[in-house]
Amino acid sequence: MMLAIFPLPIVLLPGGVTRLNIFEPKYIRLVTESYRDGGFALLPYKQSTSYISHTNAKSSIAAWVEIIDFNTSTDDLLCIDIKAKKLIEITSVESEADGLLRGSFHALQHWPDKYELSKTAQNNKENKKLMSVLNTIFAEHQHLAALYPHANEQDLPWVCARFIELLPLDIKDKINFMAPESFEQCLAFLHTTINGHHNAPA
């Protein structure tokens, strides 16, 4: 199986949702074909990189996303909401006539889900504080809350993933948290960054 590849300077972790405006013809085709293919690969890249080729896309980690809603923006552009189902590693890449990349892949296990964490970890005071801060952010920013009508704010890995997506970090640092073994590192980072301050991030 192969998926079309959409390179963007965006990191989306499993369960993450974002909104995209689509205007290039090859990506309009990607949207159409994604319904047949079960989604597409959202491939993050550093903003200093001007393009993604079939060479530097290989062996990269991407998010396998599905379209969950679509509309037309005020500029008459196609607007889609996408949700990350899982992470994948791209193993080979082909470039089609219009420049659209398509790659084969294998699925990756990301972080442990909440059922694999001990109740002690889930109920740890510092971890509960992270959950509370994210809940406050969603309450204060309705455009975010609208993307997550069924937010899992009591699921620690889910909460950590949303912070990584929302915080204004360098893209290369966000990409590091796509690694399967990065959960403990992420948790330590968030305890320092979020719980080390009295105010929630803007």
- For residue 98, the 8-state DSSP code is T
- One domain, residues 100 and 134: no
Question: Could you give the maximum distance between any two Cα atoms of the chain, in Å?
Answer: 54
Which structural domain, as residue segments, surrounds residue 28? Answer: 2-108
- Domain termination residue (choose one: 80, 108, 136): 108
In contact, 5 and 62? CB cutoff 8 Å:
yes
- One domain, residues 102 and 129: no
Q: What is the dihedral of CA 134, 191, 84, 95, to 10 degrees?
A: 140
Question: 3-state SS of the chain: helix, strand, coil percent to 5?
Answer: 35, 30, 35
Q: Does residue 201 lie within any of the structural domains?
A: no
- One domain, residues 71 and 129: no
- Domain termination residue (choose one: 90, 108, 126): 108
Binned at pLDDT 50, 70 and 90, residue 198 comes out as very low
pLDDT score of 15 more than 70: yes
- One domain, residues 88 and 118: no
Q: Does residue 200 lie within any of the structural domains?
A: no
DSSP 138-154: HHH-HHHHHH-TT--TT
pLDDT digits (tens, 9 = 90+) for 132-171: 999 999 999 999 999 999 888 889 999 999 999 999 999 9
Q: Does residue 76 lie within any of the structural domains?
A: yes
- Count of C-beta atoms within a 10 Å radius of residue 129: 14
Structurally, the chain folds into a number of domains equal to 2
